[in-house]
């Protein structure tokens, strides 16, 4: 029984990890297509259009029932912001990955996600059950933020940190 429960909990964990491993490739691909097409907005549009072309046949393959649009329209306003935020993410990835690099962009995204997630959990936003900000969770966030700073600003022997420090000195 324990092994079955463990296996059932590891499958979603492994799938989430796999999804995370795909993100650096997605952002790099989006950046490249945006550059090839002449603007990050075109890259974002192509990425989202390809996503639609991939998902639409899956609705048919999995025989997904027709959506309950009335139920969704009667729901809270925030049901619809996922698509807007998805577009913002894809556009940001397309425009910023060439400037920040894949690791720099992803680590800043993860840091932002974790800080926002702690707040969403703390206040039970968007229908979630509130979860307290414990010392361990706060320490985890602190580690992520420090990691983001180290990854983003020490990539070339600390040159970025030196430049920022020198700019602060007025040099």
pLDDT digits (tens, 9 = 90+) for 27-80: 999 999 999 999 999 999 999 999 999 999 999 999 999 999 999 999 998 888
Number of domains in the chain: 1
Q: Which residues lie below 8 Å from residue 133, measured CB to CB, with a gap of 6+?
A: 118, 121, 122
Range of the domain at 151: 2-168
Instruction: Give the Cα separation of 66 and 145 in Å (integer).
Output: 42
pLDDT in tens, 77-87: 888 899 999 99
User: Is 70 exceeded by the pLDDT of residue 159?
Assistant: no
| Average pLDDT across the chain, whole number | 89
Mean pLDDT of all residues in 122-148: 94
Report the predicted TM-score, pTM, of the whole model to 2 decimal places: 0.78
What is the rounded end-to-end Cα distance, in angstroms, of the chain? Answer: 66
Confidence of residue 5 (pLDDT cuts 50, 70, 90): confident
Residue 147: what pLDDT? 92
């Amino acid at each position: 029984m324990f092994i079955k429960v463990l296996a059932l909990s590891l499958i979603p964990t492994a799938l989430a990890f796999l999804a995370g491993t795909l993100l650096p490739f997605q952002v790099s691909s989006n950046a490249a297509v945006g550059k090839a097409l002449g603007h990050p907005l075109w890259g974002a549009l192509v990425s989202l259009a390809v996503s639609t072309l991939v998902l639409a046949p899956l609705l048919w393959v999995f025989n997904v029932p027709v959506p309950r649009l009335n139920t969704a329209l009667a729901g809270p306003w925030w049901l619809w912001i996922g698509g807007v935020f998805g577009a913002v993410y894809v556009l940001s990835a397309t425009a910023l990955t060439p400037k920040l690099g894949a690791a720099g962009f992803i680590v800043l995204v993860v840091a932002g996600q974790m800080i926002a997630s702690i707040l969403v959990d703390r206040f039970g936003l968007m229908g979630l059950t509130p979860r307290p900000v414990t010392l361990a969770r706060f320490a985890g966030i602190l580690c992520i933020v420090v990691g983001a700073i180290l990854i983003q600003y020490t990539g070339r022997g600390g040159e970025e940190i030196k430049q920022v420090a020198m700019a602060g000195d007025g040099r």
